[in-house]
Structure 1
């Protein structure tokens, strides 16, 4: 009787190779979307010119549609249907991004090109006193002073008021009063600027008040307060409750916890929200037309007499309809954009300076 030899290890039979993994399938190069974009723009411009379309907007729309179609078809052929759908969704997001950014970039570029032709030291240091609309002289000094004073007064009033309201809603607000405050803040967020101007105008008529920069600042305050409240409220909600609990556990009063822990933690977002509110009211024109009336002279007293502002100045110069007034309007628009950009840079600097320091 024979026995099988011991100590012999049988090797397993190698399995037959299965289907190729999808990870090793063909894929488009990383720069393929850029190539699709170049081809789409070339085809879009060619098709538009062949059809006799002169509008660049039509060229862009045709190019965008061709980009989506080429991306989907090429990905389907080279890769697979699933990757094609994924690339199509990505391409749609890129096209939407460009559709949103291109008009803004075009507007900014046009304002810089047209405004820089007239913007100089003389324009910033002179007013329109005694200057006719058709003359090339005159400046924006009186309007710049009016904007700084009116926006400054509105900020001084609305920033503390909005901050305290947001602190109440987040830290103390409960019951019907908090719900009522939240409701009115939501309603005030959507109030048109002309309604705020009419409200202050009715008060002026009731008490026989004269137009002044202060009246315009009060209308701007109505527009600014809900923005400050809503942005500050959201920033305070982002502060972790653990920080509040740790402070309260040490026996620190709640008001001091809010002042020393909560507000410093959220100061970056609060400052940004205030700057956004300032950027909104800096371009309002309707309340200034109703309450400030505009003036060609320099008036540094916001509590007495008519004043001008940058938005009102732009509207006034455009309404004149002369070539020189159009140049002044574009230069004033560039000054207004620069004013808002400087405010945002200052806000970022303050937020970074006051932000809580992290370390080990």
Structure 2
């Protein structure tokens, strides 16, 4: 009788065919290398096709980059990873398309505005200056801008702050809904509408005349809804436990708002106000209607025509000669620098207040 030997090897010890645990991946430098390749192919195709515009070369390179990335990732990593890389590539291409015009604008403004932006430009006006010749400055326009923005802030910031406090702390019923609705409407109105309103009421109906204060009122109308919205969101971030603890100690509600709520949210409120100021600093349409423009220095915003940086840029560009073009670019660079300083100041205040609020 033949003996049959059975294999008594445990099932757990049966060798299993090894399979790769990691899928193949493109190297980390692949996106950069593909971008260089796509740029080279885009330039080559543009030259071969006789395209003069560098923008067309860039668009061709962007399309090639997305297509090559998707095809190569599909072949190496599979369709699932290819879709992920496709989405990432499209986002990066859209980001570059959005950033390139901005960088081009900044480069052009700095290159052309820096030629006249010196101490003379910042300390002299256009009074008595022949517009066809170099010289003069934007001191009168800078004074007008600072005064108009300062008056607009004095008008809009307290009203916006009090309105936001009412909506968050007290607002209930139809009145609060109506205020919220009109704030939303004011957020979307064109700046020229605010200028026409002040022109009709202040200058035509009341016959008060053109002045920097008239321009400041129109800027305040544009600034107010931004202050209300930003302050409202900051007040909503204050924990209710702080309010309840203060009220439990017998502190009145108005004093709780003044001593607890506002100090907690002061960093975000200040940032919102600074960003609102930066928003109105470059408004041109209402200024054209209301301040009327002046070539000399007028430090009184309540009496007589006054200039501003946006109006000065428009005025110099309208003259249509090389010297006025240079002055317009210099004022534009000064305005961009002013807005950038306000934005950086707002960011700094937010960063300075953030660690304290988190303790």
Bin for the TM-score computed over the shorter chain: over 0.9
Name 1:310's counterpart in structure 2: 309
Structure 2 partner of 1:6: none
Q: CA deviation at 1:10?
A: 7.6
Distance 2:192 2:52 in 1: 39
1:202 maps to 2:200: yes
Cα distance between partner residues in 1 of 2:66 and 2:237: 39
Residues 1:63 and 2:76 are matched in the alignment: no
* Matches of 1:198 and 1:359, distance apart in 2: 45
Are residues 15 and 152 of structure 1, via their aligned partners in 2, closer, same or farther at CA, if it must alter by over 3 Å? Answer: farther
- TM-score w.r.t. the length of structure 1 is 0.93
SS of residue matched to 1:266:
helix
- Per the alignment, residue 181 of structure 1 pairs with 179
1:12 CA drift (Å)? 4.6
**1:10-39 CA distances to partner (integer Å, 9 max, x unpaired)?**
855424425635x51111111211111111
Shift of 1:359: 7.8
The answer (yes or no) to whether the contact 1:216–1:291 under 8 Å persists in 2 is yes
Alignment-derived partner of residue 231 in structure 2: 232
Query: 2:296 is matched with which residue?
Result: 297
Q: Distance in 1 between matches of 2:175 and 2:160?
A: 16
Match of 2:215 in 1: 216
Structure 1 residues 152-191: aligned runs within 5 Å: 152-191=150-189
Among residues 143, 146, 159, which one is paired with 2:144 in the alignment?
146
Q: Structure 2: any 5+ residue segments left out of the alignment? A: 1-7
Distance 1:256 1:351, change over 3 A: farther
Deviation at 1:201? 0.9
TM-aligned CA distance change 1:32 to 1:353, over 3 Å: closer
Tell me by how many angstroms 1:354 deviates: 4.7
SS in 1 for 2:189: coil
2:340 aligns to what?
341
* Pairwise CA RMSD: 1.8
Aligned in 2, Cα 1:87/1:355: closer, same or farther, shift over 3 Å?
closer
Partner residue, 1:103: 101
After superposition, where does 1:21-36 map in structure 2 within 5 Å? 23-36=21-34
Total equivalences in the alignment: 351
Q: How many Å apart are 1:311 and its aligned residue?
A: 0.1
Quick one: structure 1 residues 97 and 222, their matched pair in 2 at CA, closer, same or farther if it must change by over 3 Å? Answer: same
TM-score, normalization by structure 2: 0.93
1:119 paired residue number: 117
3-state SS in 2 of match to 1:316: helix
What residue number does 2:4 align with? none
